[in-house]
Structure 1
Amino acid sequence: MAFAALIFAAGGCHSESTKQQNATSENADSLLSAMNKAIAKNSDNDAAYISRADYYLSMNNVDSALRDILIAISIDHQNANHYITLSDAYLSAGNPDKCLDALDKALSLNPDSREALLKKAQLYLIMRDYKQSRATLTQLLDLDGINPQAYFIAAIGQLEQADTAAAIRSLQTAVDQDQEYFEAQLELGIIFATQKNPIAVSYLRNAIELRPRTIEPYYQLGLFFQENDKIESAISTYQNILDIAPEYVPALYNLGYIQLVYLNDFAKAADYFTQVTALAPQYTEAWYNRGYTYEQMGRYDMARTDYNTALEKTNNFQKAIEGLNRLDEK
């Protein structure tokens, strides 16, 4: 599943962000210290090593996690869950073959492990082995037909194989089984939006209700409104994004585009594009569109400057060349 949105940090929040980071670091240090003490107190406690390994994985310290997992396995080599954790570490290390071996070992110890089967289906999907992914999901769903994550994984595989109709059915099953499944609601919204189906609005609003501080569903909803000429709704939705993240470039850019193309409010368009070029100076289209806005305002010197900047960002950018040619004829 691909999400196009890119979150830019909001300005003026650096001191608060630093405080939060420091607090998080202090909590992490305290947690690690407690884990170390638990292991020192009882070095034969395999669960303690797994807990510390999970912590290391959350901190992207794969080597330390692997060491602890292997110690836990040496203490209890019949625990299938230890091999599932081992598979997580190998996946984080970018080693899918060892990840698969670990999952197979877990399943040899517990053939009905739903977690191991789900992770194995996910792994096959990552490896683009759709046949094995489907077979593993079938095995999982034979054990338990109520498994929304399994249907979601099936849907992603179907999307990657361009079977949109099957993907929709799988995602709708996932949502039927778990109405609070954010990713499934969002993906359905995105799919229906690409089809210009108004039902997209319902799914995207469901996703927003589930995670009101997550930008992606707002952005997809705003884009749907914009592409279907519901301009006021698009503006309102993009403004909702800026209430959460005032420096979110895609929303600022799209608001500028709406002001330029749909509303012909060139002053507002120029303001939005100026914000974008300040936040994302390599954004060629923003430089071009601000130049085009200035051209419409009769501010030809400023337009020329922006067209030239667009060409500096992207060699032979055709629209900027055409813009300069227009200015030469004025």
Structure 2
Amino acid sequence: MRILTFISFILILTSCGSDSIQTQDDQNDSTDTIPEVIDSLAFYKEKLNADPSNPAVIYERAEYYIRHAEVELAQKDLESILAKDSSNLKAHQLYADINLANLNLETSKYHYEYILKIDSSKTGALIGMGKIYAALDNSPVALNYLSAALRVNQYLPEPYFTKGLIYRSDYYRRAEEDPRKEESWERAMSSFQTAVEQDPDYYAAYIEMGVMFEEKGDSISLEYYNTAIDIFPQSIEAWYNKGMYYQTRGYVDNALSSYYTLNRLDDTWADPYYNIGYIHLIMTEELDSAVHYFTRATELDPTYYQAYNNLGLAYEKKGDRVNAKKYYLRAVEINPDFQLAKDNLNAVQ
């Protein structure tokens, strides 16, 4: 069991894309008129039939592909734009964002640097460079780029949020006795708080603050998870962490309710099923239910050796040593270094 966080820079990169180009670099050009979004591939096809090489329409289609998880098609569209006009900064930005999300750091770095050579005030590129160096664990350079973005526009939430992740990583690396550890925690919290001050709907920052308070055993973490859910009810991270909050405090019904909600949002993720199984195995001792949910977890993730071990425990408690041995052995086969399963297997031999 674990608390989900956004410490993986893969996850935070989803907020760095075409939307950031408008809000960060072109916001002074915005008007009160909100353009209608036609989310239909046929719409773009019709427009391109009239003007096949129109870069603005091709760019819009690339955004459409990204919204529908067709990233490779989006890349091809952006490559076609750049092949005809290598100075198109919006195409460079979105192409760099896509590559950064895929951790193609050198490619994304090339395109961000190209943008900054043309215009050093482009905040999307500055933030992207900050994320690259954060992913490379070069915090000083990362912070310099993020601070540069804030000098251009101090009201952007994303640089503060990314700074928070950097400071929190520093917090984790420091030994408990290091006096700078608490300073890193304070800087991380301050950065996340500043992010939500700039954008009260920046739900990822609420999750991060919830996680940090939870690690200190502070019950205020639940308020942050609930705020994240109010902003984005489909947030699997917030629902999972809320379930863990209740589970670790022994509030079985509340924990199960959170996990059931999560399963309705995404029934392909093994961890919530594992946690439900754990509750039934350890906390309520409803062994048939435990078997059901651990089995579901292994169906979704056949390498989930902890779930196989707990299946063994459930069957052993049921008095079925044959199946207990079978699942302990399976856990050891997947992870030969999993000592708990090896001990359990030896006990039923």
How many residue pairs are counted as aligned between the two chains?
Answer: 298
Q: 1:65 aligns with which of 78, 83, 95?
A: 78
Alignment of 1:80-119 (within 5 A): 80-85=89-94, 87-88=96-97, 91=100, 96-97=105-106, 99-119=108-128
Q: 1:202 aligns with which of 203, 223, 233?
A: 223
How far apart, CA to CA, are the structure 1 residues paired with 2:84 and 2:239? 46
How far apart, CA to CA, are the structure 2 residues paired with 1:69 and 1:233? 52
Q: Which runs of 5+ in 1 are unaligned?
A: 4-25
Is 1:52–1:65's contact at 8 Å kept on the other side of the alignment? no
Is 1:84–1:106's contact at 8 Å kept on the other side of the alignment? yes
> Which segment drifts farther, 197-206 or 47-56?
47-56
**Pair member with larger Rg:** 1
Confirm or deny that 1:143 pairs with 2:152: yes
How far apart, CA to CA, are the structure 2 residues paired with 1:221 and 1:204? 6
Q: Which residue of 2 aligns with 1:11?
A: none
How far apart, CA to CA, are the structure 1 residues paired with 2:326 and 2:222? 40
> Which segment drifts farther, 179-188 or 100-109?
100-109
Note the C-alpha offset of 1:97.
4.3
Alignment of 1:1-330 (within 5 A): 1-2=6-7, 27-28=40-41, 30-40=42-52, 43=53, 45-52=54-61, 54=63, 59-61=71-73, 62-73=75-86, 77=87, 80-85=89-94, 87-88=96-97, 91=100, 96-97=105-106, 99-162=108-171, 163-315=184-336, 317-328=338-349
> Which segment drifts farther, 118-127 or 210-219?
118-127
Alpha carbons of 1:164 and 1:301: their partners in 2 closer, same or farther (altered >3 Å)? Answer: same
Is 2:78–2:91's contact at 8 Å kept on the other side of the alignment? no
Is 1:53–1:68's contact at 8 Å kept on the other side of the alignment? no
> Which segment drifts farther, 160-169 or 201-210?
160-169
Cα root mean square deviation, aligned: 2.9
Alpha carbons of 1:69 and 1:202: their partners in 2 closer, same or farther (altered >3 Å)? Answer: same
> Which segment drifts farther, 171-180 or 298-307?
298-307
How far apart, CA to CA, are the structure 2 residues paired with 1:135 and 1:115? 14
Note the C-alpha offset of 1:56.
6.4
Q: Give the 3-state SS of the residue equivalent to 1:294 in structure 2.
A: helix
Query: TM-score when scaled to structure 1?
Result: 0.78
Alpha carbons of 1:296 and 1:149: their partners in 2 closer, same or farther (altered >3 Å)? Answer: same
Cα deviation 1:215-261 (Å, max 9, x = unaligned): 11111111122223333321221122223334542111111111211
How far apart, CA to CA, are the structure 2 residues paired with 1:90 and 1:277? 32
Alpha carbons of 1:50 and 1:310: their partners in 2 closer, same or farther (altered >3 Å)? Answer: closer
How far apart, CA to CA, are the structure 2 residues paired with 1:98 and 1:306? 45
How far apart, CA to CA, are the structure 1 residues paired with 2:107 and 2:274? 44
Q: Which residue of 1 aligns with 2:176?
A: none
Is 1:291–1:305's contact at 8 Å kept on the other side of the alignment? yes
How far apart, CA to CA, are the structure 2 residues paired with 1:218 and 1:266? 25
How far apart, CA to CA, are the structure 2 residues paired with 1:111 and 1:278? 50
> Which segment drifts farther, 268-277 or 146-155?
268-277
Is 1:53–1:69's contact at 8 Å kept on the other side of the alignment? no
Q: Give the 3-state SS of the residue equivalent to 2:72 in structure 1.
A: coil
Q: How many percent of aligned residue pairs carry the same amino acid?
A: 26
- Equivalent residue letter for 1:257: Y
Cα deviation 1:73-125 (Å, max 9, x = unaligned): 3xxx4x64454345446647865445434334433443433333323323332
- Equivalent residue letter for 2:141: Q
